[in-house]
A = this chain, B = another copy of it.
Amino acid sequence: MESSTHTAAALAERFGLVLRGDGAAEIDAVATLAGAGPRQLSFLSNPRYRGQLAGSAAGIVVVREDDAAGLDRTLLVARDPYVAFAQIAALFDPPPVANPGVHPSAVVDAGAEVDARAEVGPLAVIGARSRIAAGAIVGPGCVIGEDCVVGAGSRLVARVTLVRRVRLGDRVLIHPGAVLGADGFGLAMDAGRWIKVPQQGGVAIGDDCEIGANTTIDRGAIEDTVLEEDVRLDNQIQVGHNVRIGAHTAMAGCVAVAGSAVIGRYCLIGGAAGIVGHITICDRVVIQAMSLVTSSIDVPGEYSSGTPLMDARSWRRSAARFRQLDALARQVQALDKEKT
């Protein structure tokens, strides 16, 4: 983290916030409400932490107008305190900038093209016909295969693999262990044995996407697997071949998306949810954690599957009855019919 000092007045002006209290109040770090000291800035966004506001020693707090009433301390009032906090916190943790040059331990194919303003870290490998654009950072231990593009200002943190035919837009951020462009899982059964279906497509990642640690995105079978701009994937997500994910969609960790699924824009997919193959989900759909989407969704809204958590003894009783549910429903119908 970088060391720098900011006054409440300067922050208000820079980020378009409303100042209450002492404009000369200085901070040189951010912190949680509970943990902040007088030279630190904190924020209140999630209402469950409202109780911590009164006792917080934070020098400045970013709040919503509603939460500001009656507080006798230095505040920055924001329409969305979480957004304002994110912007202020970034002052102390600016994203790394490329330190141009190729580390001597990296192995770069003679047919690869690395811009003079790009950084290639120690022990990275770059394959034939791949191109690393200006300002891009290829971190330590990354392996980039053939026919890939890393767009301007993109960053592969460390140990990322782009297997083949992977094209990243600009400002894409990929975390360690992610694998983009591995063979899609295409198999045909022939005379009792599997034969492999060649995977001749690529992967196309739009500008400003973020891909989490150990997430995998397979190459398309014929055409590309596509993430539109500003898609945000958390860790350990699996995206099958020929999937298309719309702009601004975000997925929490461990989601599994099967081949050829098409997902709309501004969707939110909860952790460990599953999406089967060859279906379409429209824009602005929210899928709850660990739910399974088994058919297309064409109405925006929130969807769930599964059953609630119960103590194991009660659960076993409900689960046993689930097996008999059709018989139970028929019994009720019969009773209903007989009652007259």
Contact = CB atoms under 8 A, between A and B. Distances in A.
Contact of A309 (B157, B222, B294): B294
A107 B173 CA distance: 24
Given A223-B32, A329-B328, A253 B240 contact: yes
Q: How large is the interface on A (under 10, 10 to 19, 20 to 34, 35 or more residues)?
A: 35 or more
Contacts of A303: 309-312, 315
Contact of A236 (B158, B236, B320, B332): B236
A226 to B, nearest CB: 14
B235 A185 contact: yes
A190 interface: yes
A339 to B, nearest CB: 6
Nearest to A254: B256
B310 A307 contact: no
Interface string A272-314: 1010101000000010111111110101011111111111111
A149 interface: no
Given A176-B182, A294-B308, 11 more contacts: A32-B223, A35-B222, A83-B190, A90-B196, A213-B218, A238-B253, A302-B312, A304-B309, A305-B309, A306-B306, A335-B339
